[in-house]
Every structure is written in C-alpha cells, then in structure tokens.
Amino acid sequence: MFVQKPLTCVEICAGAGGQALGLAMAGFVHVALVEYEADYCKTLKQNRPEWNVICADVRNFDGKPYEGVDLLAGGVPCPPFSIAGKQLGKDDERDLFPEALRLIKEIKPRAVMLENVRGFLDNGFSEYRQYILKSIEKLGYDTQIKLLNASDFGVPQLRPRVVIVGIRREENRNFTYPQGDSQIAPTVGNTLYDVMAENKWKGAKKWAQNANKIAPTLVGGSKKHGGPDLGPVRARNAWAELGVDGRGVANMAPEPDFEGMPRLTSRMLARIQGFPDTWTFGKKKTAACRMIGNAFPPPVAKAVGEKIKECLEDECIDCERAVSLSRKIV
C-alpha cells in the first residue's frame, strides 16, 4: 500500500506563526522556521516545541542544507510596501525579497509561497513587482500573484493580502488559488460574544448585536511605532462604530456592571486574526499586539497551502496545458 510522505516546508520571516500554523493545518511539516525577533521566536517555541525554530536574521540563514524541500514559504516584511509607512519599496532596508530569491536559488523547493500587503500591487511598485516575479520565473517556476481577502476564508476582518505562488516548471502542475466565500465571515459580535461575556458582563448580548460587521484591519506596528492599541485615529473610529474602544487593549473582559465601550483583550484580537484560543502570545501586551496584528491569518494560509498540497501530491497534473502560467496575475 502506497503511503504519501508528509510534505516538508522551510519558512522565513515566520513571525508569531500565523502562516506556519495554517500550513501545518494544510498538512505541511516544518523542518525549519526562521525568525529574527526574540519575542516571536519564544512564541513559536511555546506553541510548537517540536518545531525547529531558528532565531536569526534571514540574511545569515544558509538554505543549502534544506535543498529539495517541498515548500519555501514566508511573509517578508510589509512596511516597505504598506500605506501605513513611507512605501520605500526596494529602497527600504527591511525589504527582504532579495533574500527570498537567494533562498529559492539555494533550496530549490518544489513550490514557493510568499505573502505581503495589498500595497505591493500599487502602480508605484509595478517595475519591482515584475522584477520579483520574473526572477522567480528565471529560477524555474511558473508564478502567479493574487489578492486574497481574509474575510472570504472565515476571518472576521477586512484584511487583504497579496499571495505569490510559484510551482517548479518541471513539476508540470496547474495551480489554482482557493476561491473563498464572501458570505462566510462571522461578525465581530458573533466572534467575540462568549469571551466578552465570560465575566458575566450584563451588556455583552446587546454589544454583540450591535457589533454586526467584520472588523477593520488589525494593525501591528513596528518596534518604533505602535503600542497596545488598535491603531491610528482612522482605525479607532472604525472600531468605535462596532462599539469598541480602540485606544488601548484590556487585560480582561468587562466586569458585570461595566458601562461604555469595552476594549478588546489580546485573546480577542487573536480570534479576529483567525488564531485558535490555544495559541498564546506571552504576557507582554505590546509585544502580543504587534505579533497578532502583523500575522498572516491561519485560515488563509491553510486554504492556499491545501491548494499547493493538491498540486504536489499529483492531484492537479495537467500534461496537456498549452498556456504558460508565468507571471500570471489573477
């Protein structure tokens, strides 16, 4: 009886594990996760002690020992392309796309998955975007790029993310992105009612009924900017429409006689990002907010990972296809 071997994955810029968790749920086994920040590394190790977490600058990571893994994945830093930053693109010292290209060349994975913010699709980055896609193609991959909305995959949040997928040309596989469903995302109220009411807050039910939309985009910030709150004024105003005080993050759910707009706890934020309640982020509130806000929602990573897995496990072979997928923008 034939037994399919588990598909292996190396992940760079692993963060607090959103993408890694989703890919693991899709069936990938991580042989290495590279992350630079100590708090993030600690979170990865606490939640998955069996993972090989390498706490190092990806610029110093040697991919050659991992040559031939099934998937190289990563969420390279988004500030160079985020509208919340200066959008310096390739001129930003935090741009790690060149390192991703180096590692694709060294590791030669069967598939590549890289994610970033919607700003990566801005016209101002067109030339650089095409350079990245063409560079991956030159390394032997058919590449596609698509904007995916987290809410289409059950995440109660407005969070569009750009996902690049490359499949080695010699694999002769026809990758297609997951479709998703814009009607399946629960509201903030439905998502958080039980944790908002866990201290028997009398106003929890009414609050949940009024919090009848998905959340605005969670903001993680950086080491220099951002704290334990829900972002700048515009973001806080959007949260206020849902009955949430975005000026800070609470340590616990509201008490029984609480009046006014409640603040969210880090556990509530994690739910809105698509993390299970079992995934912990340590006791440092500011660090937890950054980790959660900067994460790639696990349900989205899982959906994309499942489609990649289908290809690599011989379920999407298309030997007669005549049209190249190279640099195709869906």
What CA–CA distance (Å, rounded) separates 222 from 47?
Answer: 23
Task: Locate the DSSP E strands across the chain.
Answer: 7-12, 28-35, 53-55, 71-74, 111-117, 141-149, 160-168, 328-329
Phi-psi region of 154 (alpha: psi -120 to 50; beta: other; left: phi over 0): left
* Paired sense of beta strands 141-149 and 160-168, if any: antiparallel
Contact indicator for 270, 281 with CB cutoff of 8 Å? yes
| Torsions phi, psi for 14 (to 5 deg) | -70, -15
| Torsions phi, psi for 179 (to 5 deg) | -80, -45
Closest CA to 148 of 184, 113, 180: 180
What CA–CA distance (Å, rounded) separates 54 from 61?
Answer: 9
Q: Is 78 a catalytic residue?
A: yes
Going from the C-alpha of 64 to that of each of 135, 282, 320, the distances in angstroms are: 19, 33, 33
- The β-bridge partners of 250 are 265
- Kindly name the residue from 9, 78, 311, 316 that is annotated as catalytic: 78
What is the distance in angstroms between the CA of the first residue and the CA of the last residue of the chain? 39
- The β-bridge partners of 11 are 33, 73
Degrees (nearest 5) of the Cα angle 249, 18, 39?
A: 60
Catalytic residues: 78
